[in-house]
Amino acid sequence: MQRRLDAYVEEHNMRRSPTRDLVLAEACKLPQPFAASELIEAAEKQHISMPTVYNVLQLLIKARILLKVNRDSTREHAMYEILAGKSYTIQMYCTRCGRVTPVQSKVLNNAIKAYKFNNFNLQRFSLFVYGECKVCRSYKRLY
Ligand SMILES: [Zn+2]
């Protein structure tokens, strides 16, 4: 990922930034996909400010290193994912609390991989299933 960032920086005549490199390294360490808040928390330990993290996130998206996975949500709940190699992820996304839970399903993975996409070669996928988590549902029952 660092090589891709270096290439992008050089191509756009930008200066190399150790802070930017550090934010990318932190983003790669997080479980994917991650929320901006998780990256901010990790970056703050390295004394990197929230506005800097958001700036780097925008740059990584432009450089096609990072993917914003649910574009229709608010900035606080937006999830980001490093675009690396082949990966297949399925997650349940709670529309009430924003909790993201991974789903391990061979059936779903194989169904998507076997699907014949029209003039499209599948490299990877990230599937979000939207709904309400168990905690939010039980909370609703109480009130
Ligand atoms: Zn919930």
Q: What is the pLDDT of residues 17-42, one digit of tens each?
A: 999 999 999 999 998 888 889 999 99
Buried-exposed string 114-126: b where 16+ CB fall within 10 A, e elsewhere:
eeeeeeeeeeeeb
| pLDDT at res. 106 | 92
Q: Ligand 1 center to residue 49 CA distance, Å? A: 29
- Same domain? For 71 and 113 the reply is no
Q: Ligand 1 center to residue 79 CA distance, Å? A: 16
Q: Ligand 1 center to residue 5 CA distance, Å? A: 35
Residue among 32, 17, 93 at smallest CA distance from 67: 32
Domain that holds residue 116: 86-142
For 52, other C-beta atoms within 10 Å of its C-beta total: 17
Task: Give 107-142 pLDDT, tens digit per residue.
Answer: 999 999 899 999 998 888 888 899 999 999 998 766
- Same domain? For 32 and 75 the reply is yes
Task: Give 53-97 pLDDT, tens digit per residue.
Answer: 999 999 999 998 998 876 555 555 678 888 875 577 788 888 888
Distance of CA 105 to the CA centre of its chain: 20
- Same domain? For 106 and 41 the reply is no
Tokens representing 79 are 């999830």
Q: Ligand 1 center to residue 23 CA distance, Å? A: 28
The CATH number given to whatever domain includes residue 96 is 3.30.1490.190
